[in-house]
Amino acid sequence: MRSAPTILHLDMDAFYASAEQAAKPSLRGKAVVVGGLGPRGVVATASYEARRFGVHSAMPMGQARRLAPNAAYLVPRFGLYREISEQVMGLLRELSPLVEPLSLDEAFVDLEAGGVADDEASARAVGERLRADIKAVTGLTGSVGLAASKMLAKIASEEAKPDGLRLIAPGTERALLGPMSVRTLPGVGPATGDHLRRAGITTVEEIAEAGEDELVRLLGKAHGGSLYAMALAHDERPVVAERDTKSVSVEDTYDVDIHDRVRVRGEVARLADRCVQRLRAAGHSGRTIVLKVRRFDFSTLTRSETLRGPTDDPGVVREAAARLLESVDTTGGVRLLGVAVTGLADYTQEDLFAQAQAAAEAEVPVEADAGPESGGEAGGASLGEPEEVGAEEPAAPVERRWVAGHDVRHAEYGHGWVQGSGLGRVTVRFETPGSEPGRVRTFRTDDPLLAPAEPLPLVERAPCAVEPLAAVVEVSSPSGGGAVAGVGEAVEGAGSG
């Protein structure tokens, strides 16, 4: 354990929901729930206003709607969240080379490794300045915990929420942890918590009093031993800048069970393509293809196949996933499908068969009915046979789908976001992050003047950037010299609280 609280844990406050409130003036101060809006959707994040009604992350969306029927329910905009996350992580990396992201909105930072803090005063100053910089750059708030270990820094940031800073001084850890619930400690979930409760252990102090032998008897050597050490505030885990990715995966839960085998195959192929896109974006390839199927009765099956070498070829992954599907009975219906690639590597072993197949497909002539989606020109050649005009009825235009909470732009009214859609109509609220709450207008879903748009920045870009934190923090020396400077589907009830 360190002698100074130089491990920092940052956790953004209700990240997704706060970003939506910052982007949509009409939702500020109102209950906002972000997540999947279908019958089987779950809550990703709830604003603090929604939490007062009992809504929390991982809750089924149906239950959330019953608890907070007047909240605004929005589909996540992960592109916006990633952009904000990159800005926040950039500020953290100005502090130290050792930044360990845990998710888009959460990370550990080793301030000592960055040379920006070596005692309580300098650590607190860095934490306060970081919170101010995050607010200036993103318009959002984050909570900061400072302690001598990762476990305690995370506990401190949780106690600081929302929009606060908590520093746990070395030597006070046992007194702080003692009265806390056993669920406070990492690795103690509902099952372990119930097991300890049945043994008469409900607080961290009672874990320490029980002793290591009793914890090992109750939970096993590895879990019991580590839990006892944490109850004594012992946590020697270092901040690790690079965390190895073990797998890349995608999965979808369906509002209605899928019974059609043809559609199941199509969904698996689509998921395989999405998985490869993520794989390539991460700069990886992988050897093992995994298929996950959750059936109508909630039974979950996984099948895997290991290839001769790593690949990031979508055709190879699609074929492997299709083969795995053949061994799974889906006649009763499927509620969830997933495709993953594991055994990751930073290189690809060229698959000559896949290359040959792709080359052969490239030589196939364009068929007469090839349209824009197949890459051919309309009315393409049919190898000498004249095109039969009017042989097929023209396809009906596909109705555009407008996703609740996503950005749009109207040629006349400007930037807005989708408040709701259905029955051939879409309702849009026209406002921007820097405007007053905007007016609501309704259009036909096929209105040619309405188009999807990219999210707007939450904070107007100033001509001069915020001065890097590392440039304004001077660490006090052991002798006492130095000083710290610069401290300082439908949106239901949107707009109602």
- Indicate if the pLDDT at residue 465 is higher than 60: no
Window from 80-94, 332-346, 442-456 with minimum mean pLDDT: 332-346
Q: How confident is the model at residue 193 (pLDDT cuts 50, 70, 90)?
A: confident
The pLDDT assigned to 221 comes to 84
Which residue has 């009975």 as its token pair?
A: 329
- Indicate if the pLDDT at residue 239 is higher than 90: yes
The pLDDT assigned to 38 comes to 78
Window from 170-179, 285-294, 388-397, 479-488 with minimum mean pLDDT: 479-488
pLDDT average, residue stretch 449-460: 92
Distances from the Cα of 486 to the Cα of 125, 322, 470, 471, 475, angstroms: 9, 59, 10, 9, 12
pLDDT digits (tens, 9 = 90+) for 485-497: 333 334 444 433 3
Which residue has 């005009």 as its token pair?
A: 389
Which residue has 């700069």 as its token pair?
A: 283
The pLDDT assigned to 352 comes to 38
The pLDDT assigned to 460 comes to 78
- Indicate if the pLDDT at residue 280 is higher than 90: no
pLDDT average, residue stretch 184-204: 88
The pLDDT assigned to 413 comes to 95
To the nearest 10 degrees (0 to 180), the angle between helices 352-362 and 314-325 is 100
pLDDT digits (tens, 9 = 90+) for 51-110: 999 999 889 999 999 999 999 999 999 889 999 999 999 999 999 999 999 888 999 999
The pLDDT assigned to 247 comes to 84
pLDDT digits (tens, 9 = 90+) for 246-275: 788 998 888 788 999 999 999 999 999 999
The pLDDT assigned to 365 comes to 40
pLDDT average, residue stretch 29-58: 91
- Indicate if the pLDDT at residue 134 is higher than 80: yes
Q: How confident is the model at residue 345 (pLDDT cuts 50, 70, 90)?
A: confident
Answer yes or no: are the C-beta atoms of 492 and 69 closer than 8 Å: yes
Mean per-residue pLDDT over the chain, rounded: 82
Q: Which residue has the higher pLDDT, 184 or 394?
A: 184
Task: Pick the catalytic residue from 20, 106, 267, 489.
Answer: 106
- Indicate if the pLDDT at residue 367 is higher than 80: no
The pLDDT assigned to 373 comes to 36
pLDDT average, residue stretch 23-44: 91
The pLDDT assigned to 254 comes to 85
Share of the chain above pLDDT 90, in %: 58
The pLDDT assigned to 41 comes to 84
Task: List the one residue out of 11, 21, 15 whose CA is nearest residue 458.
Answer: 21
The pLDDT assigned to 481 comes to 39
Window from 186-200, 231-245, 326-340, 367-381 with minimum mean pLDDT: 367-381
Answer yes or no: are the C-beta atoms of 117 and 476 closer than 8 Å: no
- Indicate if the pLDDT at residue 291 is higher than 80: yes
pLDDT average, residue stretch 449-468: 76
- Indicate if the pLDDT at residue 384 is higher than 60: no
- Indicate if the pLDDT at residue 154 is higher than 70: yes
Q: How confident is the model at residue 192 (pLDDT cuts 50, 70, 90)?
A: confident
Task: List the one residue out of 397, 411, 489 whose CA is nearest residue 446.
Answer: 397
Distances from the Cα of 133 to the Cα of 138, 166, 350, 469, angstroms: 8, 17, 46, 8
pLDDT digits (tens, 9 = 90+) for 402-447: 999 999 999 999 999 999 888 899 999 999 999 999 999 999 999 9
pLDDT digits (tens, 9 = 90+) for 298-315: 788 899 998 888 888 999
Is 106 part of the annotated catalytic residue set? Answer: yes
Task: Count how many residues are written for the chain.
Answer: 497
pLDDT average, residue stretch 148-158: 95
The pLDDT assigned to 284 comes to 85
Q: How confident is the model at residue 461 (pLDDT cuts 50, 70, 90)?
A: low
Distances from the Cα of 382 to the Cα of 361, 371, 385, 395, 447, angstroms: 17, 13, 5, 20, 36
